[in-house]
Amino acid sequence: AILASLTLLPRYLIPTIFSHPARKQDFARLLQLLSKLYCETCQDEIVLGNLAHSLRYLMTGDHARVGDAKLEGRGMVQTLKGRLETLWKEAASEEDSNRRKSKRGGGKQDSMKDSSNRQFSIALNLKRLHLLSERWNTITEFMGGDEAMENTCGDIMHSLSMKLKESQINTKVFDDSHENGSDGENVSLLYPRSLSDAVRNGMGFCLCSMAWLLHKTQEDGGLILTDMDVLNQQDDDDDKNEDMEDDDEAVDHVVLRLRNQLVDLTELCFDQFLPDFNHDDQEEGSKPPSEEQKLFSDRVQSHAYRTASDLRTLFPKQWIDADSKLLRNLALMEDGKLIGGSVRYFRSKEGMLREKDVK
């Protein structure tokens, strides 16, 4: 509680003090301390959120140290991005090694533990990036621009998609490979909490980054208009919209590509749904899902439920009637699977919700 309070800097600092020449070194030390706490030390979400907010506070305003603060922020984003790339390379290398050793046997348990530890690191760094993307509208700039952001989001969604496909549970005949010995430990390693956390924060980072890109695109294209703009600049707006009709970028835009990838990932999360296991109808040799599998399925669908709602809010169907070709293309018209998955997940919680309502 003390650390969470101390890291919320705007309660204690006045921006104008940053410009004082005698405080330059103090400001630099403060930036380094906050950066180190964020990227290396802290794991608590509340403390990380306060740190991200405080760093955002230091980057804004007209004081003389804004440039130094932004430089530190860029370094933080690049550091977290580099860690994720390293972890993904290690995971790919381990998978190749495991394929070569698959015929020998042995060492599988240690490999699973190493993979679980790596997954925890991936989830933690994704959480740090996610919290920054929620609070920093400069996240795309710090990442290196639109192309760099698209590549990073693409890598995150590809990695999560592969993990979800590997972890997807056969709803007809459940895997009985954990019958002997340490089946509980193996299942917990296959469905760790860190994997569902990685899904939540990875999808959250991609959603927030895409939202900032969408906002920037709308501003640059003159698509956000006040009532006065509509009255005074109607002719100019018509010209802009006509120009956009011929713009190939409206058909293949970075926001559109990211949205489609995130929709696919959200639908894949909904595919983790587990139907009620009826012992009377079970097939011979099948097993009910473990508690770890049920928790994993529930958490992933919960994240997908929120993401689907945000996607439908960010890209409303009403845009299909917009004058701008870009907005028409961005309108999320094919949302049947998102709605269906959300309804199915909500209905699966109906009994629990009714019990809580009665209590």
Dump pLDDT digits (tens) for 213-247. 999 999 888 877 666 665 665 555 555 444 444 45
Choose among 317, 316, 309, 292: nearest CA to 343: 309
Q: Is the same domain home to 125 and 24?
A: no
Write down the pLDDT at residue 12. 61
Separation CA 195–CA 203 (nearest Å):
12
Angle, helices 193-220/146-167, rounded to nearest 10 degrees: 150
Q: Is the same domain home to 27 and 87?
A: no
Separation CA 342–CA 88 (nearest Å):
30
In a domain, 105, yes or no: no
Separation CA 303–CA 204 (nearest Å):
9
Residue-level length of the chain: 359
Kindly state the tokens that stand for 247. 């713009």
CA dihedral 274, 278, 281, 285 (to 10 degrees): 70
Q: Is the same domain home to 258 and 334?
A: yes
Q: Is the same domain home to 207 and 312?
A: yes
Q: Is the same domain home to 37 and 83?
A: no
In a domain, 211, yes or no: yes
Write down the pLDDT at residue 106. 54
Q: Is the same domain home to 332 and 295?
A: yes
Amino acid at 25: Q
Amino acid at 181: G
Q: How far is CA 198 from CA 102, 125, 189, in A?
A: 27, 9, 15
Q: Is the same domain home to 212 and 323?
A: yes
**Residue 197 pLDDT > 70, yes or no?**
yes
Separation CA 101–CA 187 (nearest Å):
21
In a domain, 246, yes or no: no
In a domain, 103, yes or no: no
Show the DSSP H helices in the chain as ranges. 2-6, 24-36, 45-59, 66-101, 108-135, 139-143, 146-167, 183-190, 193-220, 227-232, 234-245, 254-270, 291-314, 325-330, 336-348, 350-358
Q: pLDDT band for position 284 (50/70/90)?
A: low
Higher pLDDT, 289 or 317: 317
Amino acid at 291: E
Choose among 66, 82, 271: nearest CA to 160: 271
Q: Is the same domain home to 54 and 149?
A: no
Look at the block and give the residue holding tokens 């199915």.
344
Write down the pLDDT at residue 242. 47
In a domain, 261, yes or no: yes
Which residues form the domain of 328? 74-95+115-168+194-226+252-276+290-358
Cα angle for residues 166, 152, 142 (degrees, 5° grid): 150
Choose among 12, 163, 35: nearest CA to 91: 163
Separation CA 359–CA 350 (nearest Å):
14
In a domain, 260, yes or no: yes
Average pLDDT over residues 335-359: 83
250 and 242 Cβ atoms separated by less than 8 Å: no
Separation CA 36–CA 38 (nearest Å):
5
Kindly state the tokens that stand for 315. 């890209």
**pLDDT tens for residues 108-129?**
555 666 778 889 999 999 999 9
Q: Is the same domain home to 11 and 78?
A: no
Q: Is the same domain home to 1 and 33?
A: yes
Separation CA 161–CA 234 (nearest Å):
45
Kindly state the tokens that stand for 314. 């960010």
**Residue 159 pLDDT > 90, yes or no?**
yes
In a domain, 175, yes or no: no
Choose among 98, 130, 96: nearest CA to 111: 98
Q: pLDDT band for position 263 (50/70/90)?
A: very high
Q: Is the same domain home to 15 and 90?
A: no
Kindly state the tokens that stand for 49. 């959120």
Q: Is the same domain home to 1 and 138?
A: no
In a domain, 176, yes or no: no
Separation CA 17–CA 13 (nearest Å):
8
Separation CA 86–CA 92 (nearest Å):
10
Number of domains in the chain: 2
**Residue 168 pLDDT > 60, yes or no?**
yes
Average pLDDT over residues 29-52: 91
Strand, helix or coil at 349?
A: coil
